[in-house]
Structure 1
Amino acid sequence: MSTLSALKDRIGRYGVWNVGLRAEDPARRGELGEAAAELEELGFGAVWLGGSSAARHAVPLLEATGTLVVGTSIQSIWQYDAEASAAAFAGVDAAHPGRFVLGLGVSHAKLADQYRRPYSALVAYLDALDTAGVPADRRVLAALGPKTLELARDRAAGAVPYLVTPEHTALAREILGDAPLLAPELKVVLETDPGRARSLARDTLAMYLALPNYTNNFLRHGFTEEDLADGGSDRLVDAVFAWGDEDRVRERIGAFQQAGADHVALQVITDAERDTLPREEWRRLASLLG
């Protein structure tokens, strides 16, 4: 079995994307471990740590579980030095072989003062990881555009695109080919009332509509400036969120799989604080996924 096939088998078809699971407060360490253990028991194959996360954030989750894979989604190349990241990767991998995946991305100009020539910077970062001995098949890229998707194909295990549509997934699969991992993130609102569901979605979407990396990607995939205005059109919201009853949510997740996703990283959206662990919703999600 190839190393890429092994990674796909290990993480399975579904994972959970969450910011709160990367919390650094020592008082929350037990809560994080308990939540990770339950996610493993519920059948999720991977946890993807939101925000600019790093190897150290994965440790409490790995220590509390036996098979769960933990990945960063993503680690900003501007925030973490490549050599230090490689050393941290080696330490975590030695303690938990094969269970940590280094997800990398270039973040956004509004969030990183040193943001310059992001593609070239990412290539240089991968070069430094190669020199330090981080295997290409244990890192993934938050790739949106064609050039970065090609880089994910050639220099990593695959791609973990964020805030995308099934149409983007189909294009990503075409660029990546069959072997590399394709694991898009998808936001899930377990709410059947259309007005309530779309309101929750727009509350989350607002911050991303101020970031050109995402809005330019939407425009490349057939959305218009009107779709991006006033918190996002219904068409845009319905494309990047799965909301509704169980059948509708399953159908929306299935659309990404049919478009070529090997694994879908599911981010549950509620009206709670962003770093809250939505454990009841994770149970509901696991139930509807069967």
Structure 2
Amino acid sequence: MTTSLKESVGRYGVWSVELRSEDPDRRGELDEAVAELEELGYGAVWLGGNSTADHAAPLLGATRRVVVGTSIQSVWQQDADTTAAGFTEVDAAHPGRFALGLGVSHGPLVKDYRRPYSAMTGYLDELDKAGVPADRRVLAALGPRMLGLSRDRAAGAIPYLVTPEHTAQARQILGDRPLLAPEFKVVLESDPARARETARAYLVRYLELPNYTGNFLRLGFTEDDIADGGSDRLIDAVFAWGDEARIRERVAAFHEAGADHVALQVVTANTGATLPRKEWRTLASLLA
């Protein structure tokens, strides 16, 4: 019997934009890093940015068990037939280990952005015709309509930049069966000022994107929370920082709210440039 995606990914995974690098000179480094993540016990690796099956394939080849998913592939990035062909090729080589994470991206980032919900439903229609199974795809869903689509036409949802409160609401919409795998950011720093400085420097780019700011407002944050790089209240809600006990407590809050899996993104002053391998080891140890 085929293992479901929900069972395969386990309780924790790593979300990383660094692992999707296309630099051939870094191939050995990336393969070594993802193999270590598997040995550390992470159940999944989620590739940030506009990632595709081409980014996932070499990482799957360097590992034996871990699931590798796109988080996300934008539906505006490539047509559904190309996506289906990529999925089929990778799934044939590594059965059941590739998760196709799809999203509608953001208006400010996409030329001719329009009717995102309709764009996603049309894309899923094309994937259905091409034979991409619904139980191997997940959606980057924030609002109720997209969460409903994650429930009805995918294996579940991979919400990005959310809180435990959002997770509780998402679980109510999804029901018990679908995978709910929120992304959560971690700064391994106990000093409040330094931790928030690192977090705020990373968060500021997302506060220009209406999908995220709209979701924050739905969750009860205010325009003041969103201004000037984010209030301490917002920073503390969407990042875990502090000592080991505090970080464990913050991650556990997502599971208590209904998450099956938490995709942990380590944020440092060099996020996007260097692999945070020391931090991944520390995080694996404190969550063991």
TM-score by length of 1: 0.98
C-alpha offsets along residues 2-26 of structure 1, whole Å, 9 cap, x if unaligned?
Answer: x6x7222211000000001000111
Specify the SS of the correspondent of 1:187: strand
Provide the residue aligned with 2:97 in structure 1. Answer: 99
Shifted more, 55-64 versus 270-279: the winner is: 270-279
Structure 2: give runs of 5+ residues left out of the alignment.
Answer: none
Provide the residue aligned with 2:229 in structure 1. Answer: 231
Shifted more, 236-245 versus 266-275: the winner is: 266-275
Question: Contact 1:21–1:275 (CA<8 Å) still a contact in 2?
Answer: no
Provide the residue aligned with 1:131 in structure 2. Answer: 129
Question: Contact 1:78–1:114 (CA<8 Å) still a contact in 2?
Answer: no
Question: Is 1:88 aligned to 2:86, yes or no?
Answer: yes
Specify the SS of the correspondent of 1:9: helix
Instruction: Give, as a single letter, the amino acid of the residue that structure 1 aligns with 2:125.
Output: D
Which of 248, 251, 254 matches 2:252? Answer: 254
Provide the residue aligned with 1:165 in structure 2. Answer: 163
Provide the residue aligned with 2:179 in structure 1. Answer: 181
Could you tell me how far apart the structure 2 residues matched to 1:172 and 1:207 are? 24
Question: Is 1:42 aligned to 2:34, yes or no?
Answer: no
Specify the SS of the correspondent of 2:85: helix
C-alpha offsets along residues 188-214 of structure 1, whole Å, 9 cap, x if unaligned?
Answer: 000000000000000111000000000
Could you tell me how far apart the structure 2 residues matched to 1:158 and 1:167 are? 18
Could you tell me how far apart the structure 1 residues matched to 2:181 and 2:271 are? 25
Structure 1: give runs of 5+ residues left out of the alignment.
Answer: none
Provide the residue aligned with 2:54 in structure 1. Answer: 56
Q: CA RMSD in A?
A: 0.9
Specify the SS of the correspondent of 1:57: helix
Specify the SS of the correspondent of 2:69: strand
How many residues are treated as equivalent by the alignment? 288
Instruction: Give, as a single letter, the amino acid of the residue that structure 2 aligns with 1:180.
Output: P
The alpha-carbon deviation at position 56 of structure 1 amounts to: 0.4
Could you tell me how far apart the structure 1 residues matched to 2:236 and 2:37 are? 26
Could you tell me how far apart the structure 2 residues matched to 1:260 and 1:209 are? 26
C-alpha offsets along residues 209-251 of structure 1, whole Å, 9 cap, x if unaligned?
Answer: 0000000000001000111111111111111000011000000
Specify the SS of the correspondent of 1:280: helix
Question: Contact 1:170–1:260 (CA<8 Å) still a contact in 2?
Answer: yes
Provide the residue aligned with 2:147 in structure 1. Answer: 149
The alpha-carbon deviation at position 273 of structure 1 amounts to: 4.3
Identical aligned pairs, as a percentage? Answer: 73
Question: Is 1:25 aligned to 2:23, yes or no?
Answer: yes
Could you tell me how far apart the structure 2 residues matched to 1:273 and 1:180 are? 31
Which of 270, 276, 283 matches 1:278? Answer: 276
Question: Contact 1:33–1:61 (CA<8 Å) still a contact in 2?
Answer: yes
Could you tell me how far apart the structure 1 residues matched to 2:271 and 2:245 are? 27
Provide the residue aligned with 2:107 in structure 1. Answer: 109
C-alpha offsets along residues 41-89 of structure 1, whole Å, 9 cap, x if unaligned?
Answer: 0000000000000000011110110001000000000011110000000
The alpha-carbon deviation at position 275 of structure 1 amounts to: 3.4
Question: Contact 2:12–2:263 (CA<8 Å) still a contact in 1?
Answer: yes
Q: Which aligned runs of 4 or more in structure 1 are off by greater than 6 angstroms?
A: none
Could you tell me how far apart the structure 2 residues matched to 1:232 and 1:199 are? 11
Question: Is 1:74 aligned to 2:72, yes or no?
Answer: yes
The alpha-carbon deviation at position 165 of structure 1 amounts to: 0.4
Instruction: Give, as a single letter, the amino acid of the residue that structure 1 aligns with 2:164.
Output: P
Question: Contact 1:160–1:184 (CA<8 Å) still a contact in 2?
Answer: yes
Instruction: Give, as a single letter, the amino acid of the residue that structure 2 aligns with 1:135.
Output: P
Instruction: Give, as a single letter, the amino acid of the residue that structure 2 aligns with 1:34.
Output: E
The alpha-carbon deviation at position 160 of structure 1 amounts to: 0.1
Specify the SS of the correspondent of 2:4: helix
Specify the SS of the correspondent of 2:107: coil
Instruction: Give, as a single letter, the amino acid of the residue that structure 1 aligns with 2:163.
Output: T
